[in-house]
Amino acid sequence: MNRDNLLHIGRFIILILVQVMVLNHINFLGDLNPYIYIIFILLAPININKSLFLFVSFILGLTIDMFGDSGGVHAAACLIIAFFRPVALRSVFGLSYEFQTVKLSNIGLGEKLAYVTLMVLTHHIVLFSLEIFNFSHILLIVKKTLFSSLFTIIVTMLVLVLFRRTSDS
Amino acid sequence: MQQIINFLIRNKHSLLFLLLLFLSLIFTIQSHSYHKSKFVSSTNFLSGGIYGWQHSISDYFRLKKENQRLLEENEQLHNMVSALGVDSVATKFVDTVSFNRPYSFTKARVIKNDYSKIDNYVLINKGEKDSIFPDMGIITDKGIIGIIENTSKNYSRVISILNSNSRINAGLKKSNQYGSLIWNGKDPNIVQLETVPRQALLKEGDTIITHGRSTIFPRGIGIGTIVNYTLDQNKSYYLIDVKLFNDMTNIGFVYAIKNNDAREIKNLENLNQ
């Protein structure tokens, strides 16, 4: 248990550093960046204390905001996906989530992709709506959401597959 | 009372969610209005320190280009000095202590630069310790970068011209018509100059400079050249696309401009109120 906590704390710090020092400067095709720091929220333990989870997600987003000077947009987006994660889990994994038998480290590729897609899309819609904050730019919001989501989903899936834990913890 | 407490305990997750969401929305709304986004900012010691450390590594990869640019600037300054005439330079005594120059310049290094968002900021490695304060202008040798928005002890945050909240006074080099410089969020090399009266005679390729109508920038600092212009719906003002002299995606060293007469000018302006 203690080792698991350390793993999550380490993941939190490493994801923030990688995000703000490398991934925020990619600017692929002009302005596309993958936001993979939400892997922390994706892989948080299923039976985590809900209040703690909301609070930690908020702090995660706020830290990214602090580095990116973006006000509170990442904090809001993280908070919303953290709050709706049970809904996403239930809709993807169905019964096995209800009985808490899902292990996020060893699920099938299809289910993983569905789960990641659902979470990333929600996150990016909130993120870009708040970042642009102007309904006359709704096309820009949709465009940025779609392309960025695609980018994030690809990178996230790669990271999840490459850094999969082979041990049985 | 019991019921209220029960209600709070039953819904504590949702209430916490709403509270934090409210907080983040406040930060978001603050960040969309000029001069208010002080709370969540990268000028603090943690993010400033990490960006400074990162930049001290990545600096080495840019040295060659930076040297080239400094050489060009040196060449230009040498030309200007020689044009002044040797005598006047040699005999004129400049008292640097009493600040009798109207503007003084402080060099600084950019340690973070954004250009892909709608509201972009630049972080520089000088702060209050080096007497950098809000509302000072930031330029490179080629043209303007932005205006200091908030400062900490060692770092300051610059509101870049690539920010939808930025409004900078600028005008034509060849005449006195002026307008305000904005950015529509599309291309980081093209900014827009609006409310230039239609009496202005424009041509593609004309130079746009700062006009010195505020205490932030002195007159005559380059901004860019006109690439395109249209009249607005009322047919009374031009909307001009300006291609920047600076490559905003690649800024290394900058200068902060301090107007030594700013207080005097402000006092004079406030007399009427």
Report CB contact under 8 Å: A69, B37: yes
Q: Which residue has the tokens 């392309």?
A: A147
Q: Is A58's pLDDT higher than 60? A: yes
DSSP state of A9: H
Closest chain B C-alpha to A25 CA, distance in angstroms:
8
What the block records as the tokens of B70 is 């400094």
Give the tens place of pLDDT for each residue, A135-150: 788 888 898 899 999 9
pLDDT score of A77: 93
pLDDT score of B38: 62
DSSP B232-248: -TTSSEEEEEEEESS-T
Closest CA to B176 of B221, B208, B217: B208
What the block records as the tokens of A44 is 């948080």
CB contacts under 8 A, A 85-124 vs B, are none
Nearest CB to B28; choose among A30, A32, A73: A73
pLDDT score of A121: 93
- Could you tell me what percent of chain B has a pLDDT over 90? 6
pLDDT score of A134: 78
Closest residue in B to A25 (Cα) is B114
Closest chain B C-alpha to A23 CA, distance in angstroms:
12
Closest residue in B to A59 (Cα) is B20
Q: Which of B17, B110, B115 is the best substitution to test chain A (most A C-beta atoms within 10 A)? A: B17
pLDDT score of B97: 55
Give the tens place of pLDDT for each residue, B104-145: 788 888 888 888 888 889 999 888 998 888 888 898 888 889
B256, B257, B260, B261: CA torsion to nearest 10: -140
Report CB contact under 8 Å: A67, B12: no
> How many CB pairs (< 8 A) connect A and B?
100
Report CB contact under 8 Å: B117, A131: yes
B110 Cβ contact list (under 8 Å, min separation 6):
B55, B122, B123, B124, B125, B251, B252, B253, B254
Closest residue in B to A133 (Cα) is B32
pTM of the entire predicted model: 0.72
Residues of chain B neighbouring A13 (CB-CB closer than 8 A) = none
**pLDDT tier at A1 (50, 70, 90 boundaries)?**
low
Interface ipTM above 0.85:
no
Least confident of A54-58, B67-71, B163-167: B67-71
User: How far lies B238's CA from each of A70, A118, A142, B162, B232, in Å?
Assistant: 32, 45, 30, 20, 6
Closest chain B C-alpha to A166 CA, distance in angstroms:
33
Closest residue in A to B123 (Cα) is A69
Spatial distance between the Cα atoms of B71 and B60, rounded to a whole number of angstroms? 17
Report CB contact under 8 Å: B40, A66: yes
Nearest CB to B40; choose among A54, A71, A130: A71
Closest residue in A to B44 (Cα) is A66
DSSP state of A1: -
Nearest CB to B32; choose among A31, A55, A71: A71
Q: Does A28 touch chain B (CB under 8 A)?
A: no
Chain center to CA of B63: 24
What the block records as the tokens of A51 is 């209040």
Label residues A82-104 b or e (16+ Cβ within 10 Å = b).
bbebeebbeebbeeebeeeebee
Q: Does A70 touch chain B (CB under 8 A)?
A: yes
Least confident of A3-12, A75-84, B264-273: B264-273
Angle at B63 between CA B62 and CA B65, to 5 degrees: 70
Closest residue in A to B25 (Cα) is A72
Q: Is A153's pLDDT higher than 90? A: yes
3-state DSSP call for residue A88?
Answer: helix
Report CB contact under 8 Å: A20, B20: no
Nearest CB to A75; choose among B13, B24, B185: B24
Whether B177 and B229 have beta carbons less than 8 Å apart is answered as: no
- Under the phi-then-psi rule, with left for phi > 0, alpha for psi from -120 to 50, and beta for the rest, what region is A29? left
Q: Does A64 touch chain B (CB under 8 A)?
A: no
Closest residue in B to A24 (Cα) is B114
Q: Is B82's pLDDT higher than 80? A: no
